[in-house]
Amino acid sequence: MNKPIEQHNNSSAPRSLDGLQERLTDYACGLEFESLPPETVHAAKVRVIDTLGALMGGFFGEACGVSRNMAARVPDPAGATVIGTRIRTSPDMAAFANATAARFVEMNDVYHWPGSRGGHPSDVVMPILAVAEYAQASGRDFLTAIVSGYEFYLRLSDAIQERGFDCSTFACIGTTAASAKLMGLSRDQMAHAISMAAVPNNILRQVRTGHLSMWKAVAAGQAGRAGVFSAMMAAEGMEGPHLPFEGSEGWCKHVSGPFALPVMGDKDTPFRIGDTLIKQRSSCATTISSILAAEKASAGTRDKLDAVKQVTVEVYDTAKKNMGTGEHHWNPQSRETADHSIPYVVAAALIDGTVTPRQFDDAHLRNPHLRTLLTKIEVVENAEFTEAYHRLPVVHFTRVTVEMIDGERIVGESGGAKGDLSNPKSDAEIEAKFAGMTEECLGTVRTGALLERLWKIDEMDNVAEIPPALLFA
């Protein structure tokens, strides 16, 4: 059902609000901190801390430097901070630079639910922080916006079947709605902002297909920038396209296909933010179980890798299809391809005993011993592992079997109690991960003080205090 909305004097024809646009608008306008249960507030804090840590870990990536340079060319003293620096730029450019940095090192959270599109909902966090800083928002309003951005992303991910666009498109829409709420936009402006996000900003899946470039991380920045810019345009009075989702040439026809939006989180429906998975390794989510299994096998192989005859990696179907098929996974030419390659991460883990951001530097990418080991790795699907991956609770079973020339077989396994991406992470584990990403830049004392403050975001009168606390010493 299409409902008329307020007509401005410069409009030549009545405008209307389509049903999906109306639902998203009403949800974003209506969500308040008081409706969030304590576990949801805590989950939002965890993901803010986790994403800030990922940003610090990825700060020096090449794509991140390019993004910061571009943001520096748009100075705006009243705007938002490029985190880690003293640069203040327009909110949309801060969103671009910060979201790119948070995405670069592959440490931000991930979503997998049977039948869902998945993706990285934490792509909304840094753009929302940029707007919250710009709007001088309270900690409670900021956390509410984070929950809202996640709800948009995750409900759309649950509803839409596999298509040719990238999941960062969901982040654009979620960022827009959360930003518009933080900026105090009216319901009419919110609807226009969502329309301006949906119609022109649909990133193609090609960004994560075949040999990958630095734009894999930049997709998050582009989505965040577009979302914030949509809200900024609406705040200035810009009108979005009519019927953006359900119009004859709208989003549902050309981007998503027909779908039914699930009920979104409220006092009767649990919020989904707590269902995203916190990574324990710096790599694509569907490679992590292979890393964990290879790490166990490495204890028996690291001193005799020259005697390896063959390595067999048994995985679930999605991992085999997306990260263990195609010549590029055996011949990665970039960090971005390597951290999406099961053969590469298994080889790196067998050689070094683990996988961190350092395993994707140029020295590792060109290491002749690693390249030789890559040629001995085979990735196969295990039907039992596939079945476990497509049910609830999701389990990421993987087995790495190293066969030596003398016939010895060394096995490493992961999944469930043996170590799993799906396993809940304690606050202590969240803090340890954050410290591992930030202490080199901030030092132990500053990192500890920052963590203590971030656990109390809901007590902040103004979240603009967060970015200066992350300034590199």
Q: What is the pLDDT of residue 192?
A: 97
pTM above 0.85, yes or no: yes
Q: Rounded to an integer, what distance in angstroms lies between the CA atom of residue 36 and that of residue 20?
A: 23
Q: Which of 380, 379, 350, 382 is nearest to 367 (CA)?
A: 350
Backbone angles phi, psi at 429, to 5 degrees: -70, -40
**pLDDT value at residue 400:** 98
Closest C-alpha to 352, from 282, 273, 254, 408: 282
User: Is residue 394 within 8 Å of 316, Cβ to Cβ?
Assistant: no
CA dihedral 290, 292, 297, 300 (to 10 degrees): 150
Give the tens place of pLDDT for each residue, 281-323: 999 999 999 999 999 999 999 889 999 999 999 999 999 999 9
Report whether 278 contacts 109 (CB < 8 A).
Answer: yes
Q: How many helices (H) and strands (E) does the chain have?
A: 20, 8
Helical segments of 135-167, H only: 139-159
pLDDT at 13: 42
Peptide bond into 241 cis (omega under 30): no
Domain limits, CATH 3.30.1330.120, in the chain: 285-418
Predicted confidence at residue 294, as pLDDT, reads 98
CATH 1.10.4100.10 range(s) for the chain read 3-275
Q: What CATH architecture does domain 285-418 belong to? A: 2-Layer Sandwich (3.30)
Distance CA 337, CA 215 (A): 11
pLDDT per 10-residue tile (average), the chain, 473 residues: 45 67 97 98 98 96 97 98 98 98 96 90 98 98 98 96 89 98 98 98 93 94 98 98 96 94 95 97 96 96 92 98 96 96 98 96 96 98 97 96 97 97 97 96 96 98 98 82
**CATH class for the region spanning 3-275:** mainly alpha
Give the pLDDT of residue 17: 85
pLDDT attached to residue 164: 86
Residues in a beta bridge with 110: 277
Contact between 77 and 88 under an 8 Å Cβ cutoff? The reply is yes
pLDDT-above-70 percentage for the chain: 97
